[in-house]
Structure 1
Amino acid sequence: MRLILWVLVLFAAAVAVALAIEEYGTGHLVVEVPEFEKFELPLDYAIAGFFATFIVFYILIRILSGLLNRREIRAESLMQTGVKAFFEGDYDYAKKCAAKGFKLAKTPLTKAINSVIAIRSAQQTADISTRNKLLEKTEQDLQDERTLRLVTKAEILLNDGNYQEALNTLQNLYSTGGLQPTAVLELEMEAQRQAGNWEAVLEIGRILIHRHPLNKKHYESIQHQAHLENFKAKTGNLDDLNKYWHSLSETEQKSSRIAVAATRAYIVTGDCATAHKIIEQNVQTDWNPELIALYSECLNYHVNRQIECAEVWLKAQPNNAGLLLTLGKLCTHCELWGKAQNYLEASLSVEPTPIAHFALAQLNEKLGKHELAMDQYNKALELTLKQNGSSK
């Protein structure tokens, strides 16, 4: 519509100039080029020629501009089709459309989006050659779209397990400063996790939990893994272990998964008192079976007090097979044979387990009841084989 209006305006202007020349124009236009002939044209012809030349050039420019616009429109159309196919899971078609759109596009944003879709689609289809070529071309052609380019590169590197290169890429992105988006922090947390930098994982996890409480469970799960790895690394060094345990928040110390890891670390390190204290502070939170089982390990001269604590817990959990088994082991250690047998048999009546059968077998062996001990050993073996067979 605008083109038609412009043509009408130019045509009206040409008519007006022609009428003016017809009315007032009596001169001539002389063009003289040194060493060449002299050209002389009536003024009305010269003006008409200028107008005609202008119109021709204008139309040619508009045609070229239209062709370029059609190219960009085509690139945008391919981009939209590629994005749709990508989220539909048709990665081959998405890669085809986006790669073609990347070649056609002239504006940086359209080119960048087509590039990212093509690269991610190639990654999904394991077309590593195409992916790497597109990554290289993107780095050459899209210097302005720095964030999009670097985030995509970091994610691809992480998917390949190149966590150190991914971290270097993210540091390059951070060099501009500013608050980083959540998705970028999630990429860094995964890179730090792969690198085994657990303190960094914990720090980033705290930031993400603050930003997105709806994803709290997911981030806490990753943080738990970091705590477990830190406890493993500090096992054997009591000073480091104490320092790390006391650096945790009250909420973290009350997490049964973290408490289990801390208890195991203290048991291996030989600090039974602290291990028992952690169990006693946490076991009634959710009656974690691992904490209950660990209570009968690393026994020292406080076993009688442990029995008293466990019997108090038993009032709240009378049918807890794990707690009954733990009490049976504690009583066996203190040579309270009758109580030990009662607790072990009660545990088996609630839930038969190979460990309970084995503990009862050992008790019978200490009491000189070898036939009963052999029977319990056989039952423990039979139940173990049965469980292993059902798990396959």
Structure 2
Amino acid sequence: MKSLFWILALFAAAVALALGARMNDGYLLLVLPPWRIEISLNLFILLLALGFVGVYAALRTFFLAAGMPQRAREYRERQQKARAAVVFQDAVRLLFEGRFGQALKKATEAHAAGTAPGLSALIAARAAQRMRESGKQRGWMQRAKLDDPRTEAATLMLEAEMMNEARRFDEALVALERLQATHGRHIAALRLELRARQGAGDWDGVLKLARQLAKRDALPLEVVSEIKVQAHLANIARHAGDRGELSAYLRGIAADERNWRIVLAAARALTALGADAEAQKQIESVLADDALDAAWQPELLVIYGRLAGGEQTARIARAEAWLRQHPDDAVLLLALGRMCLRQRLWGKAQSYLEASLAVAESQEAHLELARLFDLLERSEEANKHYRASARSEVH
């Protein structure tokens, strides 16, 4: 419809122009002595229009010809940028494909062409690091820092990641501190920091970061829980030589972070320091709570049965209460036998030790019975259990 309107408008204009020219009887007289030129006004208008078109075409042609070198240069530059962009894309693709040598070559070409120089340098640095060419890696990292200030955060993140992979954890922490000072803390940086602090042995820092990541749902709960356990175990080992420091640290462990592995390590460290009463409390706190994960552990019962200090009678009473819930636990029966033997409760000790052997044969139970019969001067029975313990050891 619009096209039809314009066609009709052009026809109307043409008709109007023809009628106007036919009705126009004017003329133009040009006098340039000794010449006189007389032409119709219609012809003059036509010649004037043609002259304008001619001058415009000539000027247009001149400027196009004069600007052709510039346009040629701009065309070549666009072509070079397009080729450089393809090279940069190839560098990224090759890096993800694991073809690091070719990725380094393409990234070098893209950097020389000026295509995203900061990112091209980062790609080259990553490729060089994967190829274990540390000299090239450092050089490209330096170029990335200088070429484009906008890539500072990316450069520091990559530097921290590469330092972690090279097990240079202190340097990774330095890079992350610079990153956090200028760009704040985010989840990816916290994960890198967690890895660096694990490698550096900063277990207090690991616990702090694990709690932060748990609040942000940045790691599965099972992973966070295991990280916390490993951190607590490392801290317990670090404080194992000082009873005061160890006790203070154990009191500071949150209830939701305590499990049987932590209690087991704590009990072993406390018994090595002669703090049997405190070790008893630690073990009882976890064995009395069946809701804890896999709380009923034989290792805890073994230590509990060997505790020499503290209230032995109360300890026996507590273990006998557990026995009502776990009547067929050979390790618990052995622990009760040892405690009764220590208290010189000969009959109960023999009963518990024999019950333990009835549930499961063990060298420890035979040795404890042999000791008991030695104390009772029943040599024949003692020798029988010594021989049985030797056979258990051989098996």
TM range (shorter): 0.7 to 0.9
Equivalent residue, structure 1, for 2:51: 23
Equivalent residue, structure 1, for 2:82: 69
CA distance in 1, matches of 2:241, 2:60: 98
Contact 1:142/1:149, CA 8 A, preserved across alignment:
no
Pairing partner for 2:154 from 132, 148, 160: 148
Contact 2:236/2:246, CA 8 A, preserved across alignment:
yes
Equivalent residue, structure 1, for 2:263: 259
Pairing partner for 2:211 from 206, 216, 229: 206
Which residues in structure 2 correspond to 1:133-282 (within 5 Å)? 133-178=139-184, 180-212=185-217, 215-253=220-258, 255-282=259-286
Amino acid at match of 2:174: N
Distance 1:120 1:46, change over 3 A: closer
CA distance in 2, matches of 1:134, 1:230: 39
201-210 vs 118-127, which moves further: 118-127
Equivalent residue, structure 1, for 2:33: none
Equivalent residue, structure 2, for 1:48: 61
Amino acid at match of 2:63: F
1:318 alignment partner, SS class = coil
Contact 1:328/1:344, CA 8 A, preserved across alignment:
yes
Distance 1:128 1:65, change over 3 A: same
CA distance in 1, matches of 2:367, 2:134: 54
- Gaps (5+ residues) in structure 1? 1-18, 28-42, 86-90, 384-392
Amino acid at match of 2:211: R
2:150 alignment partner, SS class = coil
Contact 1:344/1:360, CA 8 A, preserved across alignment:
yes
Distance 1:70 1:251, change over 3 A: same
How many correspondences in the alignment?
340
Distance 1:301 1:156, change over 3 A: closer
Equivalent residue, structure 1, for 2:391: 379
367-376 vs 120-129, which moves further: 120-129
What is the TM-score when the length of structure 2 is the normalising length?
0.75
Identical aligned pairs, as a percentage? 28
For each residue in 1:132-187, what CA deviation from the matched residue of structure 2 results, as whole angstroms up to 9, or x when unmatched? 45444434444431122111111221222211111111111111142x22221122
CA distance in 2, matches of 1:20, 1:141: 59
Distance 1:376 1:23, change over 3 A: same
Contact 1:270/1:298, CA 8 A, preserved across alignment:
no
For each residue in 1:220-255, what CA deviation from the matched residue of structure 2 results, as whole angstroms up to 9, or x when unmatched? 2121122122222333534333332222222234x2
343-352 vs 319-328, which moves further: 343-352
Question: Which is higher, the Rg of structure 1 or of structure 2?
Answer: 2
Amino acid at match of 1:167: L
Pairing partner for 1:356 from 349, 359, 365: 365
**C-alpha displacement of 1:188:** 1.2
Which residues in structure 2 correspond to 1:101-140 (within 5 Å)? 101-105=106-110, 116=122, 119-120=125-126, 122-124=128-130, 126=132, 128=134, 131-140=137-146
- Gaps (5+ residues) in structure 2? 1-46
CA distance in 2, matches of 1:360, 1:21: 129
194-203 vs 306-315, which moves further: 194-203
CA distance in 2, matches of 1:152, 1:230: 30
198-207 vs 51-60, which moves further: 51-60
Contact 2:104/2:127, CA 8 A, preserved across alignment:
no
278-287 vs 340-349, which moves further: 340-349
CA distance in 1, matches of 2:108, 2:333: 71
What is the TM-score when the length of structure 1 is the normalising length?
0.76
CA distance in 1, matches of 2:366, 2:126: 55
Distance 1:216 1:110, change over 3 A: farther
**C-alpha displacement of 1:313:** 0.5
Distance 1:308 1:164, change over 3 A: same
CA distance in 1, matches of 2:69, 2:238: 79
Equivalent residue, structure 2, for 1:293: 302
Q: CA RMSD in A?
A: 3.1
Distance 1:213 1:130, change over 3 A: closer
**C-alpha displacement of 1:74:** 2.8
Pairing partner for 2:339 from 330, 346, 355: 330
CA distance in 2, matches of 1:109, 1:199: 44
Contact 1:357/1:379, CA 8 A, preserved across alignment:
no
Which residues in structure 2 correspond to 1:71-86 (within 5 Å)? 71-83=84-96, 85=97
